[in-house]
Amino acid sequence: MNLMSGMLSDFFFSALITGKYYLVVTSTKNAILTKYYSEKIEFSSKENFFLILWIEKPNFGIHGLFLCKQQIMEQLQDTIEKLWDHPELVNENLSRDAIRETIAFIDEGRLRPAEPTDDGNWKVNEWVKKAILLYFRIQEMVTFEVGPLEFHDKIPLKTNYAGKGVRVVPHAIARYGSYIEPGAILMPSYVNIGAWVGSGSMVDTWATVGSCAQIGRNVHLAGGVGIGGVLEPPQASPTIIEDNCFIGSRCIVVEGVRVKKEAVLGANVVLTQSTHIIDVTGNEAVTYKGEIPERSVVIPGSYSKSFPAGTYNVNCALIIGTRKESTDKKVSLNDALRDYNVAV
């Protein structure tokens, strides 16, 4: 039986993206798809392939088909793009199922609004951000309770932290559709939909991780840090904090600023796309915007700017040194904080 031909292929992909448990039921030469729930027969997946199980009549033997992950994602992407261009179709059942399955993949870490590339840059997956925006459109407002707390919202909260290997301190909140890697720690904090938080990272007390923000592995977001969300426009790059960075207390990083790996931001640094990031370590100042170079040690500063009413100081970020390259990231961090007397 050729599962990828004719009408069956359309039904096949529809079944694939609409739930956890699906079986292809064949009687003769004609094949139909049936939604089927079972505790024993599951939709299962591996890193690069998905396995779909089906039952074949008359002997009801269990069979499987491996389908390349890329094919599945391409089909989902095509569906989401069509729905984005034709929003009047989002209320159809299969359309809603496609949107929700995309969000489920984001929640499981199989899709990201942005992802690192082999050349050290980042690729924005516009269609994934579109799926999140469409998800808001189809979700209904509901009231739900968590212990003594009550919420009224469109997006449910993440669950099963123990099974995910994530430590969550009351009352940290992460929305469904965000991804927290095993080994991450959430102190009382907030992680929005589309965000990605890497293993070994700590989102400290009252820190917030905005929609679609990408937080690398072994990152410390200290108390009160604000990592801004960038959901619209879909083509805009989200805010990115790369691996092994330290973001000091009450820092604000927004508007898709990228903090490259192993950088250290002292307390109260504010970074927007228009913020002057001035490297003062050499004989002449070098100014950056929208990006902190790797292993930079950064503190808040100011520079003079003339206005019609006079000359005033404008906030900026000063690169005052470079964190040493080391295989022991904790040692290199402590050295940087001590050597440059950085407040955290």
Exposed e or buried b for every residue in 318-334, given b needs 16+ CB within 10 A?
bbbbbbeeeeebeebbe
pLDDT top residue among 67 and 205: 205
Which of 97-101, 121-125, 130-134, 314-318 is the least confident region?
A: 97-101
| Local confidence band at 162 (pLDDT 50, 70, 90 cut-offs) | very high
Distance of CA 237 to the CA centre of its chain: 12
Span 221-226, average pLDDT: 98
Q: Is the pLDDT of residue 77 over 50?
A: yes
Question: Residue holding tokens 């592995």?
Answer: 217
Cα distance between residue 158 and residue 272, in whole Å: 29
Q: Are 283 and 267 in contact (CB under 8 A)?
A: no
Q: Is the pLDDT of residue 130 over 80?
A: yes
Q: Is the pLDDT of residue 9 over 70?
A: no
Question: Residue holding tokens 């600023």?
Answer: 257
Question: Using one digit for the tens of pLDDT, what is the confidence trace for 22-69?
Answer: 333 333 233 333 333 333 333 344 444 444 444 343 444 444 444 456
Question: Using one digit for the tens of pLDDT, what is the confidence trace for 227-261?
Answer: 999 999 998 999 999 999 999 999 999 999 999 99
Q: Is the pLDDT of residue 16 over 50?
A: no
Of the candidates 93, 85, 94, the one whose C-alpha atom is nearest the C-alpha of residue 133 is 85
| pLDDT score at 192 | 98
Question: Using one digit for the tens of pLDDT, what is the confidence trace for 281-306?
Answer: 999 999 999 999 999 999 999 999 99
pLDDT top residue among 149 and 175: 175
Span 309-318, average pLDDT: 97
CA distances from 328 to 118, 182, 185, 337 (A): 24, 21, 20, 15
Report the DSSP pairing between strands 277-279 and 286-288: antiparallel
The token duo for 251 is: 């820092």
Q: What is the largest CA-CA distance in the chain?
A: 87
Cα distance between residue 273 and residue 230, in whole Å: 12
Please state the pTM of the whole predicted model. Answer: 0.82
Please, where are the H alpha helices in 92-183?
Answer: 93-107, 126-138, 161-164
Span 5-32, average pLDDT: 35
- Pick the most confident of 12-16, 47-51, 212-216: 212-216
Please state, rounded to an integer, the average pLDDT across all residues of the chain: 84
Q: Is the pLDDT of residue 333 over 50?
A: yes
Span 9-23, average pLDDT: 37
pLDDT top residue among 249 and 344: 249
Exposed e or buried b for every residue in 271-282, given b needs 16+ CB within 10 A?
bbeebbbbbeee
Above pLDDT 70, what percent of the chain?
79
Q: Is the pLDDT of residue 70 over 70?
A: no
Q: DSSP label at 157? A: B
Q: Are 181 and 197 in contact (CB under 8 A)?
A: yes
